[in-house]
Amino acid sequence: MRTLVIHNPKSGFGSDAIFQFVRALVSAGDECVMRMLEDDFAADRACSDAESFDMVVASGGDGTVASLLYALRGRDVPACVFPSGTANLLCANIGNAPEPSALARACRVGKTAPVDLCEISWEGEGGERHVRGFALMSGTGFDAQLMQAALPNKAVMGQAAYFAAALANPRPAVERFSITVDGRTLEREGIACLVANNAMMQGDIQIVPDCRMDDGLLDVIVVETSGAAQLLKPLAFGLVDRSGKAIGRPHLESFKGREVRVECSEPVPIEVDGEALPGTVRSYEARVLPAAVRIVVDAMSPYGTADDGSSRFGHSDVIAYPE
């Protein structure tokens, strides 16, 4: 088995879990290339020879991993998402057992599932066109401000930084959004308009129900509230009602579609997969890239199929779930 591990050493707390993973993964006859990313890496270049391996392991935070998966879209090599970041939301959404030895075993078993990625594009303040791939959630408004506020504390506080930022944030501005989903236009007022490939946030909270990354659709989410405390209320509901089906989300409205265009009444900050970008935008477009990448899934993942016991690479003596 030939594996390419692409690791961002700047992600998260500088976790060394990826080395435990490699130790659990490799056995006699295997080859494993470790590629350490530099600051300002180009994901396309990091993945340029991906097809010459049996598998690519994307190791980093959500931003790093999403950019690597986007670079691998439409290419004939499976990818394993390895959680080396602060929140590791993509890994949580995939639902694999996150321990290094369990992920190593999943790679050897080699079960994969095709999943969607999304693409967001917008015009910069100087009129230049930006296009970025994403795997989780992107958009404008309060959410982007929250990410910006959390950034300085992320390395120290981890997930708590997001909640601290939400509580510390002053009342966010309410914007008017003109939202066109697959040709149908809706007008809404809210503090954020997001597009999501995955909707599970910090603390295992599904912010809208039935958001899947294998249905060929993206979810458009409008946050129709004007205070951080009110934003936290649906999140608190999420703690007792994780699916969102029983109580609902009074301050969140969502739509599904393949293509969306969002126009904002005022220039607002934009965020891509948790990364707040400099400057503001008046509008953005997003589209889904159905079944763009094949990811490794284990028996715990909601994206996996029933385990038939076969192993693609074999020779694994790793015990993922010791008794």
Q: Which of 173, 126, 158 is nearest to 61 (CA)?
A: 158
Would you say 216 or 279 has its CB closer to Mg ion? 216
Would you say 220 or 270 has its CB closer to Mg ion? 220
135 secondary structure, DSSP code: S
Residues in 93-132 that interact with Mg ion by CB under 5 A: none
CB of 199 to Mg ion, least distance (A): 9
Distance (Å, rounded) from C-alpha 84 to C-alpha 213? 21
CB of 218 to Mg ion, least distance (A): 6
**CB burial readout 95-121, b (16+ within 10 A) else e:** ebebbbbbbbbbbbbbbbbebbbbbbe
CB of 12 to Mg ion, least distance (A): 26
Would you say 196 or 264 has its CB closer to Mg ion? 196
CB of 256 to Mg ion, least distance (A): 7
Q: How many CA atoms are closer than 13 Å to the CA of 76, on its beta-carbon side?
A: 2
At 60 the three-state DSSP class reads strand
Distance (Å, rounded) from C-alpha 289 to C-alpha 132? 12
Please, which residues bridge with residue 13 across strands? none
Q: Which two tokens stand for residue 147?
A: 């990410």
CB of 212 to Mg ion, least distance (A): 5
Would you say 7 or 256 has its CB closer to Mg ion? 256
Phi-psi region of 268 (alpha: psi -120 to 50; beta: other; left: phi over 0): beta
- Interaction mask 217-256, Mg ion, x per CB under 5 A: x---------------------------------------
Q: Is 148 exposed, middle or buried (0-12, 13-18, 19+ CB in 10 A)?
A: middle
- Does 260 bind Mg ion (CB under 5 A)? Our answer is no
Would you say 215 or 259 has its CB closer to Mg ion? 215
CB of 9 to Mg ion, least distance (A): 32
Would you say 215 or 263 has its CB closer to Mg ion? 215
Would you say 56 or 136 has its CB closer to Mg ion? 136
CB of 195 to Mg ion, least distance (A): 10
CB of 75 to Mg ion, least distance (A): 21
Binding residue count for Mg ion, defined by CB under 5 A: 2
Would you say 30 or 215 has its CB closer to Mg ion? 215
The total of other beta-carbon atoms located within 10 Å of residue 310's CB is 9
Residues in 185-224 that interact with Mg ion by CB under 5 A: 215, 217
Distance (Å, rounded) from C-alpha 231 to C-alpha 31? 48
284: Cβ–Cβ under 8 A, 6 or more apart, which residues? 120, 121, 122, 139, 140, 261, 262, 270
The residues of the shown chain that bind Mg ion, judged by CB under 5 A, are 215, 217
